[in-house]
């Protein structure tokens, strides 16, 4: 007598941990884009991601860890790779002003294309919370890591202060472009206007003395 076969079980649709983590991180951006800072919370993020909130604690340890993961993901702040795009430098050739100018232009383009980042930066001026603190810490850490090796390339100039002034100016003008069309007669809505701004910033960079190199 034949033994009846057991019904074939349907394969479970298992998602890998990295996929689920990415899904949760993307949900943070979706919540920020649609509801803003005030709606950031474990329950809401889990609902948007379509996962059990237990997974947020499992993968990130809680809201603070999730916010840090989001801020480190590259969706919020320009990555090192973005800033160095178009630059060929292996450490053997002499540093020129063009090396820094290209990074400045890359930074400007990266901030302008991140609409959500612009909203978050506006929020920072109004309110401090877990989200703004996590993103500010990431921004500070990534910037310091990037410029750490540059100080020795300059002839006594303060790279941290220079970076702060130039990046703050570009960020301000980017935010300002959302509410006004022109500033000092410069069109903030078109590429030509932004080329003028970036050219001016690069002109300031060229005034920085570079250390003599062999």
Contact 189, 181 (CB under 8 A): yes
pLDDT in tens, the chain (214 residues): 455 554 444 444 445 788 899 999 999 988 888 877 777 889 999 999 999 999 999 999 999 899 889 888 888 888 889 999 998 876 666 788 999 999 999 999 999 999 888 988 888 888 787 778 888 888 898 889 888 878 777 778 888 999 999 999 999 999 999 999 999 999 999 999 999 999 999 999 998 888 765 5
CATH number for position 46: 1.10.10.60
Could you give the CA distance from residue 70 to residue 132 in angstroms, rounded to a whole number? 12
Do 87 and 66 belong to one domain? no
Q: Tell me: the pLDDT tens digits for 7-17?
A: 444 444 445 78
- The secondary structure of the chain in percent helix, strand, coil, rounded to multiples of 5, reads 65, 5, 35
Do 199 and 123 belong to one domain? yes
Q: Tell me: the pLDDT tens digits for 155-181?
A: 788 889 999 999 999 999 999 999 999
pTM (predicted TM-score)? 0.81
- Whether residue 214 lies inside any domain: the answer is no
Contact 97, 55 (CB under 8 A): no
């Amino acid at each position: 007598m034949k033994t009846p076969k057991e019904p074939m079980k349907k394969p479970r649709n298992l998602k890998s941990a990295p996929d689920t983590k990415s899904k949760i991180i993307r949900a943070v951006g979706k919540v920020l884009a649609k509801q803003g800072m005030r709606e950031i919370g474990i329950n809401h993020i889990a609902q948007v991601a379509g996962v059990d909130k237990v997974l947020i604690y499992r993968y990130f340890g809680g809201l603070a860890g999730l916010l840090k993961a989001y801020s480190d993901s590259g969706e919020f702040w320009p990555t090192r790779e973005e800033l160095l795009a178009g630059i060929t430098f292996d450490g053997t050739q002499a540093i020129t002003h063009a090396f820094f100018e290209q990074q400045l232009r890359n930074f400007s383009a990266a901030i302008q294309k991140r609409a959500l980042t612009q909203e978050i930066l506006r929020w920072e001026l109004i309110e401090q919370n877990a989200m703004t603190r996590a993103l500010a810490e990431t921004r500070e850490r990534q910037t310091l890591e990037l410029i750490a090796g540059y100080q020795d390339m300059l002839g006594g100039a303060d790279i941290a202060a220079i970076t702060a002034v130039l990046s703050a100016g570009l960020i301000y003008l980017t935010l300002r472009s959302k509410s006004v069309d022109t500033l000092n007669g410069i069109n903030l809505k078109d590429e030509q206007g932004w080329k003028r701004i970036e050219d001016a910033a690069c002109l300031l960079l060229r005034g920085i003395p570079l250390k003599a190199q062999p």
